Chain A
Amino acid sequence: MSIDENLDEELRIFKKVSGLSENDENTLREAVSVILPHIGPLTETFYEQLTAEPKTAEYIEGRVDLLKKTHTQWIEALFSGNYDEAFIESQLRIGRTHVSAKIPPLFVASSMSYLRSAFPKLINQEFSNDEKKAGDISSSVLRVLDLCQYLIDYAYEQDRLKRLTDATGLTRPLLENLIALKAKG
């Protein structure tokens, strides 16, 4: 069953261009046992970062423990090595949750940036005896993180387009036609 025809096609292109493949699934599945013990501390540090910034802190205030638990599960899913339709749907759901919680996309982007920096450090440290393997694992994690961010961004984009169509009465195809107009000049 298809999640969304356009999204299916975009995901095919994403995978082809980024190189995300079964190799990444296998690589991360093999690394999970080494990474797993570090997920808790990494999540702790991540939330310290979020609470240190007043603007992000106000979005998580009073539910940090619950969010940490969700975050830990999310990272475990990243290393599950199973990026099937259920995984895609779960990332879209995460995106929609961020949208409905009115979390600014900037926070998602900066959080992803933090993780893109933290994971390679952790992986290099744990696989210091095998530089190639460390490089492969980091590449795979970064590709999956990019996929997740793309899906979360997709949820934001869909929400903004829906709000625009609801407010103006413009249909989606008309909006796409307007967006596709070349700049005059």
Chain B
Amino acid sequence: MRADLLNSILSDLNGSSADIEASAVISTDGLMMAAMLPSNMDEDRVGAMGAAMLSLGDRTGQELNRGSLEQILIKGDNGYVIMTHAGKDAVISVLTKPDARLGLIFLDVKRAAEAVSKVL
């Protein structure tokens, strides 16, 4: 039931922009809770790396006096990774194309994160 709801949120998110290639909801311990990933992507790896990045981002924000973490953005040749908290115990991670229009995607990710936190 919960997994269905999470999958439905991710499905809506992926459908909201053609620039979104994949998304996932991950526990803060790095376990995959729901995912819409390409078949060549390892869920365990995406889960553990996403949670680790968010955790390090949290700590970096605190240590460098930047306040509570809102978002992590990684830019690579092949696109972006956007990560944000979805409630206290989960992370939402989104992969986009390199020329993605981020403003709109940020809004959609924020909405999805709020929806996930309500489900959890």
Contacts and interface: CB of A to CB of B under 8 A. Distances in A.
Query: Size band of the B side of the interface?
Result: 10 to 19
A181 B55 CA distance: 17
A31 B51 CA distance: 54
Interface residues of A, number: 12
A178 interface: yes
Contacts of A178: 30, 48-49, 52
Contacts of B51: 174, 177
Nearest to A179: B48
Contact of A181 (B28, B29, B48): B48
A169 interface: yes
A171 B45 contact: no
B78 to A, nearest CB: 16
A109 interface: no
Contacts of B52: 170, 174, 178
Contacts of B55: 168-171, 174
Interface string A155-185: 0000000000001111101100110110010
* Interface residues of chain A: helix, strand, loop or mixed (majority): helix
A178 B47 CA distance: 9
B44 interface: yes
A171 B56 contact: no
Interface of B: 28-31, 44-45, 47-49, 51-52, 55-56, 58-59, 62
12 contacts: A168-B56, A169-B56, A169-B58, A170-B55, A173-B29, A173-B30, A174-B30, A174-B52, A174-B55, A177-B30, A181-B48, A184-B45
